[in-house]
Amino acid sequence: MNTLSYQYLDSLYLNITNRCMMACPYCIKQKWAGNFRGHSLKLDTEPTSQEVINSIGNDISKYKEIIFCGYGDSLIRLKEVIEISTWLKSKNAVVRINTAGLANRYHQKNILPELKGLVDIISISLNGTNPQEHNKLNNPMFAEESFDEIINFAKLAKQYIPLVVITAVELQNLDVSKVEQIAKSIDVSFRARPYLD
């Protein structure tokens, strides 16, 4: 059975797609046999918005945040993110999206205005300190152009989303302190994330 939402610590995570704009070699999808935090996140089919909402239930106030996470990039399913977030905000939830930061390029438009008022926090992965390194570490859809695209997405996001965070996974061959400097240089928050094997 598909896991559409699951609790971890005090937050609820939503798993609405396995599709992504990147194909990171370190992604858990490379070894689907394993579970993530006790849940198999591999989807047989992508859920409808209503199926995701049904999986959340009505007792939302107990969660600190509701997080679009995956393993995939939820912003590929922009329409569903908007529908689910609209419902979540009607219940006063705090909504966060974890993303690869390539949604504008993927959809070929600025999608951020559509998230205004629906998303409180956006966490944007930046696992790389320059276009070449980022391309090598993450295999993004738009190759070396992805690095600048992500930084521009983070800059633009500040106009529409109250809290913008660049995150970097503590990979062995990545200097996360340099990613932190990039985040500082564009005036967004930064968080290092442990590598979950």
User: Residue 28 or 60: which CB sits closer to ligand SF4?
Assistant: 28
User: Residue 87 or 139: which CB sits closer to ligand SF4?
Assistant: 139
Taking alpha carbons only, the member of 168, 189, 171 closest to residue 179 is 168
For ligand SF4, the nearest residue by Cβ is 27
Residue 13 Cβ, how far from ligand SF4 at the closest point, in Å?
12
Judging by DSSP bridges, how do beta strands 66-68 and 95-99 pair with one another? parallel
Query: How far, in Å, CA of 163 to CA of 27, rounded?
Result: 25
Residue 24 Cβ, how far from ligand SF4 at the closest point, in Å?
3
Query: How far, in Å, CA of 125 to CA of 141, rounded?
Result: 14
Residue 139 Cβ, how far from ligand SF4 at the closest point, in Å?
8
The type of residue at 90 is S
In the chain, where does DSSP find H-type helix? 49-56, 78-90, 103-107, 131-138, 145-157, 176-185
User: Residue 163 or 171: which CB sits closer to ligand SF4?
Assistant: 171
User: Residue 17 or 49: which CB sits closer to ligand SF4?
Assistant: 17
Residues that bind ligand SF4 (CB under 6 A): 20, 22-24, 27, 29, 70-73, 100, 125
